[in-house]
Amino acid sequence: MGKNSDEIRENLKRAEISIKAAKDMVEKEYYDIAASRAYYAAFYAASALLLKENTSHLTVWSHR
């Protein structure tokens, strides 16, 4: 994967954990928390993709 491989793996792991948490929250009918976890899953997955594509000019990883 390259120099960002550890960070990419970590972001994908966080995305996977967040998706699992979202599914768990849906089962418990906590839809607002499920939406939040799903949002973070997408954020982490997108971050991993940007790292994979070597979008290194982004120095601050945050959402606004």
Please state, in angstroms and rounded to a whole number, the distance separating the CA atoms of residues 62 and 64.
7
Using alpha carbons only, what angle is made at residue 40 by residues 27 and 35, rounded to the nearest 5 degrees?
40
Is the pTM here over 0.95, yes or no?
A: no
Residue-level pLDDT at 4: 85
Q: What is the pLDDT of residues 8-25, one digit of tens each?
A: 999 999 999 999 999 999
Mean pLDDT of the chain: 89
> Residue 47 CB: number of other CB atoms within 10 A?
21
Q: Which of 2-6, 43-47, 50-54 has the lowest mean pLDDT?
A: 2-6
pLDDT band, very low/low/confident/very high, at 3 (cuts 50, 70, 90): confident
Distance (Å) of CA 33 to CA 1, 20, 30, 64: 33, 12, 6, 18
Distant-in-sequence, close-in-space partners of 42: CB < 8 Å, separation ≥ 6: 15
